[in-house]
Copies of this chain bind each other. A is one copy, B any other.
Amino acid sequence: MITLSDIESAADRIADAVIRTPLLPARWADAERPLWIKPENLQPIGAFKIRGAFNAVGNLAESERARGVVAYSSGNHAQAVAYAAAAYGIAAHIVMPEETPAVKVQATRDHGAHVILCGAGEREKVAAEVLEQTGGVLIPPFDHPDVIAGQGTIGLEIADDLPEVDNVLVPVSGGGLASGIGTAIKARCPAAKVFGVEPELAADTTEGLRRGERVDWSIEHRNRTIADGLRSQPSALTFAHLQQVIDGMITVSENEIRTAVRELALRAHLVSEPSGAVALAAYRQKRTPPGRTVIILSGGNVEPSTLADIMAG
């Protein structure tokens, strides 16, 4: 299990690479639950993933790092690893499914990464081949202590900026973000409650935490949600963290997610991807205890057509 000290080391390691995002007061919110937004969509790659990737790459021994890094991802983790590799001047090989939108492939290449496209369901096999060929190191999207510690730096910043925080609402997919933030908040603000948020259509962690063990929802089932960044499931490592640090789970509907994207754009002037807006959607249900509340806006990489569609209402 990661500790506060791991997260503090991560904060030192990534300080020059990430934006120290401000905590933005949302004065249009519920008076009983004063609201602040942590806008991780403002990071250089448009998502919090840069924190974990940068910490993991930065914490490799120099001899390991020199061999380059490998990742498989269709989403923000791909760009995060590519970005971190470029910053360290090492090679990055990113395995992406053939159906990945062209703009995301291009964005990853723009950071100087080698992109290897693969068939559906083949990405782990292809990544293994690339690891073999390149001798590089795999940087997983959430199942790694350094990745979790990197995401946890968000929790440190919240504790610094709003030590009297009462509630923190965090999107949950593979669970790295919530594990890291939860660990930092429980250590620094022990009275605060940490809530995980999932789409109703990908609520495997909600069910798993209730049962006390991980459950498996089919990928066809999870793929139905518009929140394409929240379709993963925790690993044993992240699930163990979540069991320790999560006080409750909240699920949100597809309509609630769309409304939250719209509200973030029009009231907070921030563009969120659907996955990034679930914490606001959960906040709007008013099911958390009254008190000072922070939501994590985890990313802003939305397809133009999706954003246009949501803004049209």
Within 8 A of B (CB), among A267-313: 268-272, 300-302, 304, 307-308, 311-313
Q: Given A19-B22, A21-B22, A24-B19, do A42 and B269 touch, yes or no (CB 8 Å)?
A: yes
Q: Given A41-B269, A271-B265, do A22 and B20 touch, yes or no (CB 8 Å)?
A: yes
Q: Which of A24, A46, A266, A304 has the most CB of B within 10 A?
A: A266
Closest Cβ of chain B to A136, distance in Å, is 24
Q: Which residue of chain B has its CB nearest to the CB of A311?
A: B308
- Interface pair B311/A307, CB less than 8 Å apart: yes
A269 touching B270, Cβ below 8 Å: yes
Query: A25 on the interface (CB 8 Å rule)?
Result: yes
Contact of A44 with B by CB under 8 A = yes
Q: Which residue from chain B places its CB closest to the CB of A39 in the assembled complex? A: B42
Asked if residues A307 and B265 are in contact (CB atoms below 8 Å), the reply is yes
What residues of chain B lie closer than 8 Å to A28, measured between beta carbons?
110
Partner of A270 from the list B20, B262, B271, B313 (CB cut-off 8 Å) is: B271
- Cβ of A224: which chain B residues have Cβ within 8 Å of it? none
User: Separation in Å of the A106 CB from the closest CB of chain B?
Assistant: 11
Q: How far apart sit A110 and B268, CA to CA, in the bound complex (Å)? A: 16
Complex Cα–Cα for A266 and B107 (A) = 12
**Chain B, residue nearest A266 (CB):** B304
Interface centre among A110, A262, A265, A301 (most CB of B within 10 A): A265
Q: Is there contact, CB below 8 Å, between B44 and A27?
A: yes
CB closest residue in chain B, given A42: B24
How far, in Å, is A65 (CB) from chain B's closest CB? 22
Which A positions have Cβ atoms within 8 angstroms of B?
A: 19-22, 24-25, 27-28, 39, 41-42, 44, 46, 110, 262, 265-266, 268-272, 300-302, 304, 307-308, 311-313
Known: A25-B44, A265-B307. 13 other contacts (CB 8 A): A19-B22, A19-B24, A19-B25, A22-B42, A28-B110, A42-B268, A262-B304, A265-B271, A266-B307, A304-B311, A304-B313, A307-B311, A308-B313
- Closest A-B pairs by Cβ, 8 of them: A269-B300, A308-B311, A269-B271, A41-B269, A308-B312, A265-B271, A311-B311, A307-B311
